[in-house]
A and B are shown apart, each in its own frame.
Chain A
Amino acid sequence: MMDWAAGKDDPVLALDNISVQFDKRCVLKNVNIRVYPGEFIGLIGSNGAGKSTLLKVILGLLSPTQGTVQVGGPADGKGERLMGYVPQKLFLAPDIPLRGRDLVALGLDGHRWGIPLFSKERKRRVSEILEAVDAARYADAPVGQLSGGEQQRLLIAQALLTDPQILLLDEPLSNLDIKSAYEVIQLVSRIGREKGIAVILVAHDMNPLLGVMDRVVYLADGKALMGQIPDVFRSDVLSDLYGYPVEVLNVQGRIMVVGGRNFENNGYPREAICCESNEVL
C-alpha cells in the first residue's frame, strides 16, 4: 500500500468541512475527505450513519449546508463528469427490451440527444469494456433476466465508459452472494489500479474489502473518520467517533465493531447541535 500522506499528487476529490442539515437534524458533521488517483477507498457505515447523504454530496446531487466539494483537482472544474457512478441495483421489468450491451452503451452516449447511430468505433469500445469486466458472455441477454452480480458488472462497464477519474459504487455488495461480491471487489480493484481510477466503494461491512482497501472512511452518526485500516479500527478511536463506548474485535483476521459493555451510557445525547461545532476529527 502506498503512503498517501506523502501527497505528491493532487487529490482527485476533496471534501472540506462538509455539514448537511435537514430541518434541525444534522446528517453530516464536518466531514473531511481526500481521495487520490488510483486509490481504493471503502466508505463504511451502518444504516443511518449518513452514507447515502455523503454519496449524494460527492455526486453533486445535494449541496451541503456548509463546506466545499472539489472534484478533479483545482485545475479542471469539470466536476461530476469525472465521476463514474454504479447504482446499487436496477429496478427493471424482467421483459424490458434491453440487452446487456445496450445498457453498457448508454455509458458512452446515453446523455446525448437523438437516437444512437451505428458506428464501428462505438461497437468496438462497448465490446472492449465488456471483455474487460468479463461480461461478454451475457452481453446479448436481456438485462432484466440477468442476476444481480451480472447486472453489477454491466453497470460497472457502463460507468467505465464515461471515462471517469473516480468510480463510485453505491453498496454494490448488498445484493450479492459472497462469491459474486468477492469477484466484483477483485474486478473493481484490478481495474482501478490498471487505469489509475480512484475507487470509492460504499458498504456496511468492511471485512470483504480488507485486502484491497488503501484507506477507509468510517461513518458513524454523521461524523467521518478517514485513515489507514489499523489507525481507524481501534476501540478508543471509534468510541470517540461514536461518542459511545464501542470495542473493535479482531476475529481471525476479520474486524468487528461491537457496542461496549457499559450499557449505563445508553442515554448519550445523539441530537447534538452539530453544524456550529468545529470539532476536528
Chain B
Amino acid sequence: MTRLGELLFAPGFFQSAEVTRALLLGSMVAAISGLMGVFVVIRGQAFIAHALADFGGAGAAVAFLVRINPVWGFLTFGVLAATGVEFLGKRAGERDLSTGIVLSVALGVESLFLYLDTHYTGHAGAPMLILFGSIFLVAPFTVPIIMALTVTTGVTLDLIYRPLLLSSIDPELARIRGVPVQAMSLIFVILLSLVVEEGSLMMGALLSISLLIGPAAAATHLTHRMGWAMLWSALLGITAMWMGIVLAYDSFYWPPAGRGWPVSFFICVLVLLFYLLARLSSQRSQVKVRVARKCDA
C-alpha cells in the first residue's frame, strides 16, 4: 500500500507548502470556474472569456514591469475589458466582432509589455509565467485575494441566478418580466472577468479558460438539470486540478529531470479527456431516447 502511495505521490508531496497552497487555490479556482462555466456555455460566451483572459494577461505584463503583484494587473485590465466588450457590442451580432477587436488589442499590448518585461526586469521567464502560469509559484499573500474573489463571485452568482438564467434563455422574455437584462449581462461579464483572471494566475492567460469551458461542456452531457450540471462541472474541474497537480509534481523526475512539467498541460489534457468521456456516455443515452420515441409513435 505504501509502495503504491509512493508511486502515485512523489516524495515530499504532502509536506510541501507550495503543493498545499496549490491544492487549496486550485480547488477554489476550479470550483468557481466550473459554476460560472455552465452559464458561459449556455450564453455562448466562450470567446469573450478568452479575450478577457488575454486582456488580463496584458495587465499582468504591465504590472510586472512596474513591479507590483500581477494579480492587480490581471484584475484591473480584466474588468476594464469586460466593461468595454459589453458597451462596444450591445447587440449580440456585434458582440463577436467587438470581442475580436478587444482580443487583438489585448494580444498586441501584451506582446509589447512582455518584451519590455524581459528587457527591463531581466526576468526571461516573465512571458512564460504570464501566458502559461505557474500554480506552485503563486505568492502566499495572493491566497486571501483569491479567496475573497471566489466568495464574492459565488455569492453574486447565487443572487442573480434566476434572472440571469431567464435572460440567458430569452432576453426579451426576461425584459418583459421586469428583469434588468442589460445589467445582468454586465454583471455576468464582470464576474466572468474575475473568474478568468483568477484562473490566469494559476493556469496562465492563455489556458485559464480551459477550466471554464471544458468541465462545463462535459457536465451538460452528463445531466439535463442546471443545478446538477453546475455541481458536475465544479467537481470535474477540481478533479482535473488535483490530478494535474499530482502529475506535475511527479513529473519532476520525468525527462528532462529536475524540472516539473507545467500543471496547465496536465489539466488541459485531463479536461479534454473528461469531455470526450462525457460525450461518449451521453451519445449512448441519446440513442436510447431516440429508440424509445420511435416505439412511442
Contacts and interface: CB of A to CB of B under 8 A. Distances in A.
Interface of A: 59-61, 80-81, 83, 85, 87, 90-93, 95-99, 102-103, 106, 109-116, 140-142, 145, 162
B182 interface: no
Interface in B31-84: 38, 41-42, 44
Contacts of A113: 159-160, 162-163
B176 A83 contact: yes
Given A115-B161, A115-B162, A102 B177 contact: no
Contacts of A61: 172, 175-176
Nearest to B233: A97
Given A93-B41, A142-B224, A60 B163 contact: no
16 contacts: A87-B170, A87-B172, A90-B169, A91-B170, A97-B219, A97-B220, A98-B226, A110-B166, A110-B174, A111-B174, A111-B177, A112-B163, A114-B159, A114-B161, A142-B224, A162-B177
B144 interface: no
A111 B166 contact: yes
A166 to B, nearest CB: 12
A102 B225 contact: yes
Contacts of B269: none
A97 B158 contact: no
B225 A99 contact: yes
Could you say which interface size class chain B belongs to?
20 to 34
Interface string B105-122: 000000000000000000
- Residue among B158, B172, B219 facing the most chain A CB atoms (10 A cut-off): B172
Contacts of B226: 97-98, 102
Given A80-B178, A97-B220, A97-B229, A116 B162 contact: yes
B187 to A, nearest CB: 12
A112 B44 CA distance: 23
A165 B177 CA distance: 14
Interface in B128-178: 158-163, 165-166, 169-170, 172-178
